[in-house]
Amino acid sequence: MDRDTRNALIAAAWIMLLFGLAAYWLPTVMLAVGSVSTVLAVIVAAIFLLALFVVFWLRGRSQRKKGL
């Protein structure tokens, strides 16, 4: 494993850890927001899922620009 792949692995692990923690708290947040509006609860869940894909998409774009 060279330096670049190790750094990519570390970055992916951090991203998954942070999103894993967010996913752990997501039901609690959705229930709290859902008591105000069910539509807002759905929007919170959609933003969470969209953010996960956007982060990996941006990371991939960054890596392509570096030529890795």
The alpha carbon of residue 33 and the mean position of all alpha carbons in its chain are separated, in whole angstroms, by 20
pTM greater than the 0.85 cutoff: no
In terms of Cα–Cα distance, which of 14, 8, 21, 10 is closest to 48? 21
* Residue-wise pLDDT tens digits, 17-51: 999 999 999 999 999 999 999 999 999 999 999 99
